[in-house]
């Protein structure tokens, strides 16, 4: 029981040993001293809490916050010693904050649990007791035999036992794991491949020994021992037999496999970064400000304590006749009395630390996050998907992003290849209405009869149809007419390809008349304009990254031996001796300039003697036990020479809509974009060029194919030197995974220096954890930039979790990225609205919210401190305890909360169309030390005006009350409190640019509520209160005309200087944001009114009149022209506003 509890709390992971032994179908040995190993269950967990650890873990996280921990200490102090205020004044707000935050975080984690349960509860079939049993994914155990059908996702890491094919092979796509959409072939060992029925598998007696789980997707070492009658057969197991969780079965009806790694031990889960609590830069700033205010609090408490004892040095003040000390007080320790007084002052001033700040921020983040989901601009109609918010704690971080790390396949692209152009025998062709049309020629009758292909065209298309690894859907078979209907139009065949390029080329060839119809044994079948032809497949020369080409040797129907080769132009053209080589090279360069992925196609005819020699060499190389790879490479080079060039192809990886515009907008906003992909070097560079990540004029630097530290370091030094020499030119850097590993090992600083001086960086052939390492490298650099990672597959989960902000794309590669992200969107283009509009608004709102809270608490407590100078530091409170408790919770909380939800200081359209405005809020500009200092000084200034204004106007007058009574301390404190509530509420109104009826209701309603509450609180004798100090105080205060005069005068005096400062700064030193509040005339977007803005020829009172007209409903917030005010006389002066793409801002005043 104890062990189970420890595992639930996360303290006791399952036992680990060097290797694991797995008994297939869990047939454990019946004799000997077998000790079963403990394996993880098959649950995937992306949540932070469980039922058991929610309370302790959540409380621990909450009390890590400075304000929460501080108020807990204050609450305990109030319980232990006699303090001026009740423990309820600290305990109640603390309990409220902790409870609301826990509910919010618990709800978000419940959503994660819900998503996990959908995955863990998915139906699967396992072989048990001689039959197929339907169960849930989470119930799969290590050793279970699992059946997976076509197009299903593997629920665990499986060792393939058999498939519906005789040879035990199956085809798998791992797009959601490594971003590669090509089909991969996996093969079972021969002894289990023949066990294709449940009954035969149930009789299998075998044991698998393999390594413990590791994150490397491409490494698996193990062996299987099969017991057959009296002998045991041992076969090696490698990556070709391992089917990974998250991959999808393709072109195979069903497979059976044995579970070897389950749950959080699968390779997909191990490539997730451990879930950690992400904290925004704003929260870190809040904690810094809280520490500063804590220092101010300690200073005030220590100073008050010292002054109290300095004052009491005189005997008449130490023990006045009306307050004689008890015998116990006279004999008590002076040190203890000093500490007790210090703690009492600490409690008296403790409200300078705004505890309600955290709960308001939590509510603002939680409620504000709904606007992202409700935004119709982030809704994708085709897939019926809207934006999702998985973590609302990072909303404002969307406005601080400096680096974007993006996946390529499925994120920037649609993951669909399209044939665009080709070059055959030196002539460029395009596909027009299912026909190959030479460039410059037009089709007179596009829908007319099919034309016959020229000899060169037909040979080129046959080479495309034969030199590939394309598979056809097993469900599709040729009917009586084959793949051609009576009208001559091809019926669609569903192809699965080893690369998306091959699939696009084979589909294009089928559209123009040469159709690959499948394989039968060792034969490949092709139909050329309806005429079937059968080619015998003799040899396949597989693709490898060093040769950068693949070839097939076939026997034509006439018995001729032919070699067809396709690959990169750099590997084909130098080996070609005939054909239109120069023209084709020019065409390939033209295709590349258009951002197309290019391949060259060539062939060679063999004489019988040549083929006999080739066959002999291939057999010797393939059966060699030593240096097999090197010998095969030599034979391939011998075969692939003296080629006759047929032509070249140009295929486009279709980009998502508006990707290029989005990347350019990010660049204008000052955000650097890095592309991290698992794809090949050439593919990645081609897509970077086509999507605008790399410009054609950019100098592309490469750090690829390095095998040693020394060569990598030398290349890095050369790149750094080139960048310094050509500092005027923009540079782009291409890095591959192996070179990156070497660069990060010992040359991290040099690598970072090169990267930061490049406008764009492309990392290719990246493993999932390498992506996370690159993000961490930037995140932890001295500048500490805010990073954002965006991807759509399980291979992107690590970098999504590592970055400050992680965004999942709802693509075609499963939901792992979406489930583990902070935000999820349907398309990459939505990123601009998410950052430039939502991120901008969230940051401005919360920056003002945080600083306003500190400001209003300085206003609140400073008069309390000043009052001690008038009461001999006797710790007498200026305000009633009810006012102390309700100031932050009721009287001043709603206006700032509504402001933080609805404020739009600039129109959303302007923010999205002018990305340069994003630069104004970068690097935490609105929460730096200068803005914080301004708000703090303003708070102290207003507090001094509240206190001394009230004292000078009312403090010395003893006959202002209607009944002739003198002003008492509660009346004076209530006057200060009344002025304070009105002033801080009006200050919030000054900061508001976008007024809605809700803003009006809570702003003016808060003031009205304060007056109504005070009248009821002081006008009735409440039986449950121990003291009734405030009885009739507020009514008497309001009965005095001079009190009303003092309130109005002090409020105006406080706000007048702030209004003057705003007006002067807006006219003399307007910021880009203030300039953006005016847009081009006729755009239909008007200046957003503010009380501190007026046009030429107007007085300041006119702007107040406009504000009142708004309040009375005479003027629409969105169409100021309805009031008869033209755009030429609006707000602050008329600006001709224009932002050019090449410059931050151009303003004509």
DSSP 852-868: HHHHHHHHHHHHHHHHG
Which pairing describes strands 823-825 and 805-809: parallel, antiparallel, or unpaired?
A: parallel
| Burial call 1038-1068: b when 16+ CB within 10 Å, e when fewer | bebeebeebbeebbeebbeebbeebbeebee
CA geometry: angle at 473 spanning 469 and 475, to 5°? 150
144, 178, 341, 407: which one is catalytic? 407
Percent of the chain with pLDDT over 90: 13
Identify the three-state secondary structure at position 426: coil
CA distance 912 to 907: 9
What value does the mean pLDDT take over residues 574-598?
A: 83
Predicted pLDDT at 890:
83
Q: What DSSP string describes 239-283?
A: GGGEEPTT-EEES-SEEEEEEEE-GGGSHHHHTSPPP-----HHH
Please check whether residue 198 is in contact with residue 131, taking contact to mean a CB–CB distance below 8 angstroms: yes
Q: Which two tokens stand for residue 665?
A: 């907008």
Q: What local confidence, expressed as pLDDT, does residue 849 receive?
A: 92
Give yes or no for residue 1101 having a pLDDT over 60: no
Name the residue among 542, 397, 197, 482 with its Cα closest to residue 921: 397
In terms of Cβ atoms closer than 10 Å to its own Cβ (0-12, 13-18, 19+), residue 951 is: middle
| Pair 946, 861: CB distance under 8 Å | no
At residue 131, the pLDDT reads 83
Closest to 1095 (Cα-Cα) out of 1119, 1129, 1143, 1070: 1129
Predicted pLDDT at 987: 93
* pLDDT of the residue at 489: 42
**Confidence class for position 227, pLDDT limits 50, 70, 90:** confident
Span 985-1012, pLDDT tens digits = 999 999 998 889 999 999 999 999 999 9
How many beta carbons lie within 10 A of that of residue 991, not counting itself? 20
Specify the residue for token string 């959908």. Answer: 118
Residue 615: alpha-carbon gap to chain centroid:
54
**1138 token code pair:** 């224009």
**pLDDT value of position 1049:** 92
Strands 254-261 and 514-520 turn out to be: unpaired
Q: Which whole number is the average pLDDT over 112-131?
A: 87
Q: Which of 698, 732, 703 is nearest to 717 (CA)?
A: 703
The residue among 530, 440, 514 whose CA lies nearest residue 482 is: 530
> What Cα–Cα distance (Å) separates residue 1074 from each residue in 193, 273, 492, 906?
72, 42, 58, 8
Answer whether 319's CB lies under 8 Å from 96's CB: no
Of 1073 and 34, the structure prediction assigns the larger pLDDT to 1073
Least confidently predicted of 208-217, 469-478, 551-560? 469-478
Judge whether 247 and 177 are in contact, CB under 8 Å. Answer: yes
Structure tokens at 107: 């709800």
The CA distance from 677 to 795, in Å, is 9
Distance CA 16, CA 667 (A): 48
The whole-angstrom separation of Cα 670 and Cα 403 is 9
pLDDT at 502 over 60: yes
Average pLDDT over residues 567-579: 86
DSSP 442-477: --S-TTSPPPPPPHHHHHHHHHHHHSS--EE-TT--
Could you give the strand order of the β-sheet that contains 206-211, starting from the edge strand earlier in sequence?
19-23, 206-211, 222-228, 231-237
Report how far residue 1091's alpha carbon sits from residue 1087's, in angstroms, rounded to the nearest whole number. Answer: 12
Q: How far apart are CA 720 and CA 945, in angstroms?
A: 59
Identify the residue whose tokens are 């290797």: 19
Q: Which of 84-93, 1049-1058, 1109-1118 has the lowest mean pLDDT?
A: 1109-1118
The CA–CA distances, whole Å, from 133 to 14, 128, 138, 199, 1033 equal 27, 6, 14, 13, 78
Task: Output the pLDDT for position 407.
Answer: 86
Strand partners, 471: 496
Q: Which secondary-structure segment (H or E) carries 662?
A: helix 659-668
Do residues 691 and 663 make contact, with C-beta atoms less than 8 angstroms apart? yes
Give the integer Cα–Cα distance in Å for 596 and 592. 5
Long-range contacts of 427-430 (CB under 8 A, 24+ apart): 428/587, 428/590, 429/457
At 160 the pLDDT is 92
Q: Kindly tell me if the per-residue pLDDT of 156 is higher than 90.
A: yes
The least confident of 66-75, 501-510, 647-656, 1054-1063 is 66-75
Bigger pLDDT: 682 vs 774: 774
Contact 645, 573 (CB under 8 A): yes
| CA proximity to 566, closest of 548, 587, 578 | 548
Selected residue with higher pLDDT from 487 and 379: 379
Q: Using pLDDT thresholds of 50, 70 and 90, give the confidence band for residue 1147.
A: very low
Quote the DSSP letter at residue 490.
B
Rg (CA), the chain: 38
The answer to whether 101 and 362 are in contact (CB under 8 A) is yes
Residue in the structure block whose two tokens are 């305890």: 881
User: Is there a contact between 97 and 354 (Cβ–Cβ < 8 Å)?
Assistant: no
Sign of CA dihedral 333, 334, 336, 340: positive
Q: What pLDDT, on the 0 to 100 scale, is given for residue 758?
A: 86
| pLDDT for residue 154 | 92
Number of other residues whose CB lies within 10 A of the CB of residue 109: 17
**pLDDT score, position 48:** 82
Q: Is residue 1096 flagged as an active site residue? A: no
Length of the chain: 1149
CA dist., res. 543 & res. 549, Å (int): 5
**What is the pLDDT averaged over residues 1099-1109?**
45
Mean pLDDT check: name the lowest of 530-539, 911-920, 969-978, 1085-1094: 1085-1094
Q: Which residues pair with 163 in a beta bridge?
A: 255
* Mean pLDDT across 974-980: 90
Average pLDDT, the chain: 79
pLDDT for position 795: 75
Nearest to 236 by CA among 248, 224, 228: 224
Q: What is the pLDDT of residue 715?
A: 85
Q: Which two tokens stand for residue 709?
A: 């530290």
Contact 911, 917 (CB under 8 A): yes
Q: How far apart are CA 776 and CA 401, in angstroms?
A: 15
In the 8-state DSSP scheme, what is residue 143? T
For 689-743, how does the pLDDT look when each residue is reduced to its tens digit (9 = 90+)?
Answer: 878 888 877 888 888 877 777 888 888 888 888 888 877 678 888 888 888 888 8
Q: Phi and psi dihedrals of 834, rounded to 5?
A: -60, -40
State the pLDDT at residue 690: 78
Taking phi first (over 0 means left), then psi (-120 to 50 degrees means alpha), and beta for anything else, what does residue 586 get? alpha
**Higher-pLDDT residue of 326, 445:** 326
Three-state DSSP state, 1052: helix
Helix axes 281-311, 334-348, angle to 10 degrees: 130
Q: Does residue 1104 register a pLDDT over 50? A: no
**Of 180-189, 694-703, 768-777, 834-843, which gets the smallest average pLDDT?**
180-189
| pLDDT digits 0-9 by tens, 797-855 | 888 888 889 998 886 655 667 878 889 998 889 999 999 999 999 999 999 999 999 99
Coil/strand/helix, residue 649 = strand
Q: CA nearest 193: which of 241, 124, 251?
A: 241
- Of the CA atoms within 13 Å of residue 699, those in its CB half-sphere come to 13
Terminal C-alpha separation, the chain = 76
Q: Where are the beta strands (DSSP E) in 931-1071?
A: none
Question: Would the CA dihedral through 497, 503, 505, 508 be positive or negative?
Answer: positive
Asked if the model's pLDDT at residue 956 lies above 50, the reply is yes
User: Residues 31-48: what's their mean pLDDT?
Assistant: 77
Band of pLDDT at residue 1030, cut at 50, 70 and 90: low
Cα(408)–Cα(435) distance, rounded to whole angstroms?
Answer: 32
Quote the longest CA-to-CA distance of the chain.
128
Q: CB 780: neighbour CB atoms within 10 A?
A: 9
pLDDT band at 944 (very low <50, low <70, confident <90, very high): very high
Q: Is 1120 helix (H, G, I), strand (E, B) or coil?
A: helix
């Amino acid at each position: 029981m104890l062990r189970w509890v420890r595992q639930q709390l996360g303290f006791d992971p399952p036992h680990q040993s060097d290797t694991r032994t797995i008994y297939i179908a869990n047939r454990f040995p019946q004799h000997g001293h077998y000790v079963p190993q403990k394996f993880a269950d098959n649950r995937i967990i992306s949540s932070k809490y469980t039922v058991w650890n929610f309370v302790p873990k959540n409380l621990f996280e909450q009390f890590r916050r400075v304000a929460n921990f501080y108020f807990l200490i204050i609450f305990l102090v109030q319980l232990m010693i006699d303090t001026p205020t009740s423990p309820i004044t600290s305990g109640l707000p603390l309990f409220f904050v902790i409870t609301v935050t826990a509910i919010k975080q618990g709800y978000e984690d419940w959503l994660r649990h819900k998503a996990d349960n959908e995955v863990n509860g998915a139906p699967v079939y396992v072989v048990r007791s001689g039959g197929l049993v339907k169960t849930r994914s989470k119930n799969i155990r290590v050793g279970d035999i699992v059946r997976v059908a076509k197009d299903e996702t593997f629920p665990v890491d499986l060792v393939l036992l058999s498939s519906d094919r005789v040879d035990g092979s199956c085809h798998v796509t791992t797009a959601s794991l490594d971003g590669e959409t090509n089909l991969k072939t996996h093969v079972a060992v021969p002894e289990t491949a023949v066990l294709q029925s449940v009954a035969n598998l149930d009789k299998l007696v075998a044991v698998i020994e393999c390594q413990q789980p590791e994150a490397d997707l491409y490494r698996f070492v193990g062996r299987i021992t099969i017991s057959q009658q009296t002998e045991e057969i041992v076969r090696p197991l490698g990556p070709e037999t391992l089917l990974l969780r998250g991959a999808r079965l393709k072109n195979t009806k069903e497979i059976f496999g044995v579970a070897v790694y389950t749950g959080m031990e699968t390779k997909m889960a191990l490539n997730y970064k451990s879930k950690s609590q992400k904290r925004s830069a704003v929260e870190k700033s809040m904690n810094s400000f809280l520490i500063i205010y804590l220092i101010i609090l300690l200073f005030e408490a220590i100073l008050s304590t010292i002054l109290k004892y300095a004052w009491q040095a005189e005997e008449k003040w130490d023990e006045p006749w009306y307050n004689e000390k008890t015998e116990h007080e006279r004999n008590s320790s002076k040190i203890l009395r000093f500490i007790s007084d210090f703690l009492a002052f600490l409690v008296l001033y403790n409200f300078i630390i705004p505890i309600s700040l955290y709960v308001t921020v939590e509510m603002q983040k939680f409620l504000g996050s709904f606007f992202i989901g409700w935004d119709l601009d982030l809704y994708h109609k085709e897939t019926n998907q809207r934006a999702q918010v998985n973590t609302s704690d990072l909303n404002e971080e969307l406005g601080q992003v400096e680096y974007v790390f993006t996946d390529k396949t499925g994120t920037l692209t649609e993951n669909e290849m399209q044939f665009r152009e080709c070059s055959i025998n030196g002539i460029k062709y395009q596909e027009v209405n299912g026909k190959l049309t030479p460039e410059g020629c037009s089709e007179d009758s596009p829908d007319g009869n099919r034309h016959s292909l020229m000899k060169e065209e037909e040979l080129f298309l046959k080479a495309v149809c034969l030199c590939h690894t394309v598979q056809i859907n097993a469900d599709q078979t040729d009917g009586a007419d084959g793949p051609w209907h009576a009208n001559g139009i091809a019926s669609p065949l569903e192809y699965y390809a080893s690369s998306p390029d091959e699939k696009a080329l084979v589909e294009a060839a089928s559209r123009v008349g040469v159709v690959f119809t499948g394989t039968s044994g060792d034969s490949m079948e092709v139909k050329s304009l309806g005429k079937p032809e059968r080619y015998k497949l003799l040899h396949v020369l597989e693709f490898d990254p060093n040769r950068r080409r693949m070839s097939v040797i076939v026997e034509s129907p006439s018995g001729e031996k032919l070699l067809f080769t396709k690959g990169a132009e750099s590997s084909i053209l130098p080996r070609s001796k005939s054909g239109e080589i120069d023209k084709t090279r020019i065409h390939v360069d033209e295709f590349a300039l258009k951002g197309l992925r290019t391949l060259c196609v060539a062939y060679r005819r063999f004489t019988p003697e040549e083929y006999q020699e080739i066959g002999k060499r291939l057999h010797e190389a393939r059966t060699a036990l030593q240096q097999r790879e090197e010998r095969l490479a030599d034979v391939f080079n011998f075969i692939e020479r003296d080629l006759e060039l047929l032509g070249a192809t140009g295929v486009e990886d279709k980009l998502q809509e508006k990707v290029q515009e989005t990347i350019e907008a990010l660049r204008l906003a000052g955000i650097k974009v890095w592309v991290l992909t698992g794809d090949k070097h050439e593919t990645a560079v081609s897509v970077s060029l086509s999507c605008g990540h790399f410009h054609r004029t950019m100098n592309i630097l490469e750090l690829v194919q390095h095998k040693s530290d020394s060569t990598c370091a030398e290349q890095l030094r050369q790149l750094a030197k080139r960048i310094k020499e050509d500092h005027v030119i923009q540079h782009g850097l291409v890095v591959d995974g192996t070179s990156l590993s070497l660069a990060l090992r010992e040359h991290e600083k040099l690598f970072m220096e090169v990267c930061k001086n490049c406008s764009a960086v492309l990392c290719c052939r990246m493993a999932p954890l390498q992506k996370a390492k690159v993000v961490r490298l930037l995140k932890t650099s001295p500048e500490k930039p805010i990073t954002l990672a965006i991807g759509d597959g399980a291979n992107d989960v690590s970098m999504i979790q590592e970055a400050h902000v992680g965004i999942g794309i709802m693509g075609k590669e499963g939901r792992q990225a979406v489930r583990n992200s902070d935000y999820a969107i349907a398309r990459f283009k939505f990123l601009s609205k998410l950052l430039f509009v939502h991120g901008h608004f969230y940051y401005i709102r919360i920056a003002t919210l945080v600083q306003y809270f500190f400001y209003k608490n300085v206003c609140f407590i400073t008069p309390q401190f000043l009052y001690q100078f008038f009461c001999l530091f006797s710790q007498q409170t200026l305000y009633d305890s009810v006012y102390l408790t309700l100031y932050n919770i009721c009287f001043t909380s709603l206006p700032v909360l509504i402001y933080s939800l609805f404020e739009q200081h600039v129109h959303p359209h302007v923010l999205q169309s002018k990305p340069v405005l994003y630069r104004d809020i970068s690097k935490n500009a609105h929460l730096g030390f200068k803005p914080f200092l301004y708000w703090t000084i303003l708070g102290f200034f207003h507090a001094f005006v509240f206190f001394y204004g009230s004292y000078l106007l009312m403090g010395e007058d003893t006959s202002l009350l209607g009944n002739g009574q003198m002003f008492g301390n509660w009346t004076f404190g209530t006057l200060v409190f009344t002025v304070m509530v009105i002033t801080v509420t009006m200050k919030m109104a000054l900061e508001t640019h976008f007024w809605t009826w809700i803003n009006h209701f809570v702003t003016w309603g808060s003031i009205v509520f304060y007056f109504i509450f005070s009248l009821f609180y002081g006008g009735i004798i409440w039986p449950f209160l121990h003291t009734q100090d405030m009885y009739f105080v507020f009514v008497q205060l309001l009965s005095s005309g001079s009190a009303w005069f003092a309130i109005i005068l002090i409020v105006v005096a406080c706000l007048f200087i702030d209004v003057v400062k705003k007006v002067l700064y807006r006219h003399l030193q307007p910021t880009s944001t203030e300039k953006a509040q005016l847009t081009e005339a006729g755009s239909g977007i008007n200046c957003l009114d503010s009380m501190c803005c007026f046009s030429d020829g107007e007085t300041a009172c006119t702007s107040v009149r406009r504000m009142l007209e708004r309040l009375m409903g005479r003027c629409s917030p969105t169409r100021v022209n309805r009031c008869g005010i033209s755009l030429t006389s609006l707000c602050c002066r008329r600006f001709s506003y224009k932002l050019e793409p090449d410059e931050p801002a151009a303003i004509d005043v």
